[in-house]
C-alpha cells in the first residue's frame, strides 16, 4: 500500500491526479476480469482484463467502471507507468490507450514499455464526455518470460479435437450457436497450411468472467469475412462439461486464465497475443498485415 500511495503523490506532481483514486493490485496469475476496488460507491475503477504480461510492450486490456457500471462515454485515457521495484516508484513510459467499443463491454488497450520483470503501477487519467477528468490506478506484474507462448514463438502443434474426431459439436463447444467452421482443423495442421491462423481458447457457457462468449462472437464475425484466407480454431477450455475437466491444450499452451486468442503468421509464429477481450476490429487489425492481398 505504501508504494501505491507514493504513486498517487507522483501522479499529482506531474498533473495527472486531482480526482478520486483507487489503489489496488492484480498480480499474475490473476483471473481475467478482476476489478480493482474503488474507494467509494461512485469512484472510478479499473478491471484488468487479462494477465501473464511479458517484459517489453505487453498488451494490457482494461475496462472502466463507475461503481458497478461500465463507463462507455470516456473521450480519452492517458496511462503512465511507474516502476515499483525500488523504495519510491519511478516514473517511466506515458502514452494513450486505444478504445474498442465494437464489443459487448467496451474496453481499452495500452502497450506500456516495461523494460524489466517485476511489479509496475499504471495510473490512468480519464477524460469523460463532459470534459471532466478522473483518475484511477492499478498494478500489473511483468514476467520474463511469461507463461503462454510469446510473440515470435511457434506454439505447440496441438492435436485438438475436431469434427472429424468428435462429430458431436455440443461436445466441442459450449457456445449456444457454434460455427462449425471453427472446429475443422487441428493446430498441428494449421501450422503446416501456410496461412495465418487464429486460435481462441474460450468457454462461452462456463467462463469465470463475462468475456468468453463475446470473444467467440468476435471470432465468428471475422471468420465470415476471412474464411479461405485465414484458419480459425476455437478450443474449448474444458474437454468435458460434466464434470468440468480442463482441455489438454490449456496445459500445453501454459494458459492460466481464459479467454486467450493467438494470431499466428503464415510461418506459424505468434504475431499477436490477445488475452481477455478481443473485438472484431482489434482482431482484424492483427490479421490485416498477415493476409496476402
Digits of tens for pLDDT over the chain (293 positions)? 344 434 444 444 333 332 222 223 233 223 333 334 344 445 788 989 999 999 999 999 999 998 888 888 899 999 999 999 988 899 999 999 999 999 999 999 999 999 999 999 999 999 998 999 998 999 999 999 999 999 999 999 999 999 999 999 999 999 999 999 999 999 999 999 999 999 999 999 999 877 899 999 999 999 999 999 999 999 999 999 999 999 999 999 999 999 999 999 999 999 999 999 999 999 999 999 999 74
For residues 262 and 272, is the Cβ–Cβ distance under 8 A?
yes
Distance between CA atoms of residues 23 and 26, nearest Å: 11
Residue 10 has phi, psi (to 5 degrees) of -70, -40
| Predicted local distance difference test score (pLDDT) of residue 42 | 56
Report the SS3 class of residue 246.
strand
What CATH number belongs to 2-143?
2.60.40.1220
Distance between CA atoms of residues 73 and 71, nearest Å: 6
pLDDT in tens, 160-215: 999 999 999 999 999 999 999 999 999 999 999 999 999 999 999 999 877 899 99
| Segments making up each domain of the chain, as ranges | 2-143, 169-287
| Predicted local distance difference test score (pLDDT) of residue 27 | 30
The pTM of the full predicted model, rounded to 2 decimals, is 0.87
| Predicted local distance difference test score (pLDDT) of residue 209 | 78
For residues 203 and 182, is the Cβ–Cβ distance under 8 A?
no
CATH number belonging to the domain at 169-287, selected among 3.30.830.10, 3.40.30.10, 3.40.50.150, 3.40.50.300: 3.40.30.10
Report the SS3 class of residue 114.
strand
| Predicted local distance difference test score (pLDDT) of residue 30 | 31
Amino acid at each position: 500500500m505504501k508504494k501505491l500511495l507514493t504513486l498517487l503523490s507522483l501522479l499529482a506532481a506531474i498533473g495527472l491526479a486531482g480526482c478520486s483514486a483507487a489503489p489496488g493490485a492484480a498480480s499474475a496469475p490473476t483471473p481475467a476480469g478482476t476489478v480493482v476496488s474503488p474507494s467509494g460507491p461512485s469512484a472510478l475503477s479499473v478491471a484488468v482484463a487479462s494477465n501473464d504480461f511479458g517484459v517489453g510492450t505487453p498488451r494490457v486490456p482494461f475496462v472502466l467502471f463507475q461503481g458497478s457500471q461500465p463507463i462507455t462515454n470516456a473521450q480519452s485515457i492517458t496511462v503512465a507507468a511507474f516502476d515499483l521495484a525500488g523504495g519510491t516508484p519511478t516514473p517511466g513510459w506515458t502514452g494513450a490507450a486505444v478504445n474498442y467499443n465494437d464489443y459487448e463491454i467496451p474496453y481499452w488497450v495500452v502497450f506500456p514499455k516495461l523494460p524489466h520483470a517485476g511489479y509496475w503501477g499504471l495510473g490512468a487519467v480519464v477524460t469523460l464526455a463532459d470534459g471532466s477528468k478522473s483518475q484511477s490506478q492499478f498494478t500489473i506484474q511483468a514476467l520474463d518470460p511469461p507463461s503462454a507462448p510469446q510473440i515470435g514463438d511457434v506454439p505447440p502443434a496441438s492435436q485438438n479435437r475436431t469434427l472429424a474426431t468428435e462429430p458431436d459439436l455440443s461436445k466441442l463447444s459450449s457456445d449456444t450457436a457454434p460455427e462449425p467452421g471453427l472446429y475443422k482443423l487441428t493446430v498441428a495442421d494449421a501450422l503446416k497450411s501456410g496461412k495465418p491462423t487464429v486460435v481462441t481458447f474460450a468457454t462461452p457457457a462456463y467462463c469465470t468472467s463475462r468475456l468468453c462468449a463475446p470473444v467467440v462472437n468476435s471470432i465468428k464475425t471475422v471468420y465470415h469475412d476471412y474464411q479461405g484466407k485465414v484458419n480459425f480454431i476455437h478450443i474449448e477450455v474444458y474437454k468435458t462439461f460434466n464434470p468440468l475437466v480442463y482441455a489438454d491444450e490449456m496445459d500445453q499452451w501454459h494458459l492460466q486464465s481464459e479467454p486467450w486468442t493467438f494470431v499466428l503468421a503464415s510461418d506459424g509464429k505468434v504475431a499477436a497475443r490477445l488475452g481477455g477481450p478481443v473485438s472484431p476490429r482489434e482482431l482484424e487489425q492483427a490479421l490485416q498485415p498477415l493476409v496476402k492481398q
